[in-house]
């Protein structure tokens, strides 16, 4: 079951980079990848926020889904790839086609963030209510965990200000559209669709209540993260590549687990597990990918809290140069 989407808006490459020339199957070749059914009736095109998830940031990690067994598929009309969303937005079994990657997908999983963006009367982390949001499965079993999540973030498109970039998704599409033969993530080669790579941002994160910045007060494993006056110094220059905050070659980590309210945050050896996976949201919160708890300032430290509208859960990013 997909609880949230890996939605840091870091895949800023133009849409034209996706659906690369030479990756599509057309004409007679396309026929072998699609059924001969007549074009579907009721075709609709929605401007949609498209994110990606895989083996390591699924909840729990693996291929399990809420509605359709093990996530999978190759992207043809006959064998569409699983996608997650709010079933009030897209009923289970809905077929969509995403032109940016030239693949078909089928609704088969739940996505907590998608539900908030669509159904919450106050909107979700990325906008809404009524924001179309789908989360596309890329696989990744047995592959390098960091590479899989980097691919998800590289493919996710957003605006320079961090807001979601909406792209066209076709709902109830015809069966004979071009289909790319390249997987979204190649488990054997650890390569991402179209050669996409995630970029890394560097900077400080100021709390909406205190104005202080997330700081690494030491370089040893197990050092608790704290909040101190923003100085722009190296101990506040956090790197973020789409899921992991790193500084001094250590990862920001939920000590008691990503789903534990009140868990303190420290800096730990980077292992790529759920306790080190974070998401920066358009509403200014930073949440655990697996469960969706917010990083909140508590005293001079950091802890996980159930997300509310409190200023202590909001963070403002200021770009800095990479550490020398």
Structure confidence at residue 1 (pLDDT) = 61
Structure confidence at residue 12 (pLDDT) = 33
Structure confidence at residue 272 (pLDDT) = 86
Structure confidence at residue 64 (pLDDT) = 96
Structure confidence at residue 243 (pLDDT) = 87
What domains are there in the chain, each with its CATH number? 15-195 (no CATH), 201-319 (2.80.10.50)
Number of Cβ within a 10 Å radius of residue 191: 17
Structure confidence at residue 197 (pLDDT) = 86
What sections of 141-256 are H helices per DSSP? Answer: 145-155
**285: burial class by Cβ within 10 Å (0-12, 13-18, 19+)?**
buried
pTM of this prediction exceeds 0.85: no
Tell me which residues of the chain have a pLDDT lower than 70: 1-41, 160-162
Torsion, Cα of 273, 286, 291, 268 (10° steps): 30
Structure confidence at residue 2 (pLDDT) = 53
CA separation (Å) from 96 to 60, 185, 232, 284, 299? 25, 19, 45, 30, 47
């Amino acid at each position: 079951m997909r609880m949230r989407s890996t939605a840091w808006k870091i895949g800023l490459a133009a849409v034209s980079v996706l659906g690369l020339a030479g990756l599509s199957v057309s004409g007679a070749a396309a026929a072998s990848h699609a059924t001969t059914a007549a074009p579907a009736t009721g075709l609709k095109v929605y401007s949609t926020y498209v994110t990606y998830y895989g083996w390591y940031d699924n909840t729990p990690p693996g291929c399990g889904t809420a509605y359709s067994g093990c996530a999978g598929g190759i992207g043809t009309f006959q064998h569409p790839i699983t996608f997650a969303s709010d079933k009030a937005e897209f009923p289970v079994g809905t077929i969509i086609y995403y032109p940016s990657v030239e693949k078909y997908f089928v609704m088969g999983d739940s996505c907590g963030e998608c539900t908030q963006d669509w159904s919450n009367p106050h909107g979700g982390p990325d906008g809404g209510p009524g924001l179309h949001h789908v989360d596309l499965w890329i696989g990744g079993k047995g592959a390098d965990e960091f590479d899989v999540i980097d691919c998800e973030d590289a493919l996710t498109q957003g605006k320079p200000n961090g807001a979601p970039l909406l792209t066209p998704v076709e709902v109830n599409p015809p069966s004979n559209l071009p289909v790319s033969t390249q997987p979204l993530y190649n488990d054997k080669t650890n390569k991402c669709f179209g050669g996409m790579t995630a970029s890394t941002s560097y900077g400080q994160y100021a709390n909406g209540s205190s104005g202080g910045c997330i700081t690494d007060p030491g370089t040893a494993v197990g050092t608790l993260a704290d909040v101190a006056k923003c100085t722009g110094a190296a101990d506040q220059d956090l790197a973020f590549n789409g899921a992991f905050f790193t500084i001094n070659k250590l990862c920001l980590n939920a000590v008691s687990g990503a789903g534990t309210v009140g868990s303190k945050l420290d800096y730990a050896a980077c292992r790529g597990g759920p306790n080190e996976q974070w998401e920066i949201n358009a509403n200014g919160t930073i949440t655990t990918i697996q469960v969706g708890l917010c990083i909140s300032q508590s005293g001079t430290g950091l802890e996980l809290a159930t997300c509310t509208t409190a200023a202590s859960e909001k963070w403002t990013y200021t770009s800095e140069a990479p550490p020398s």
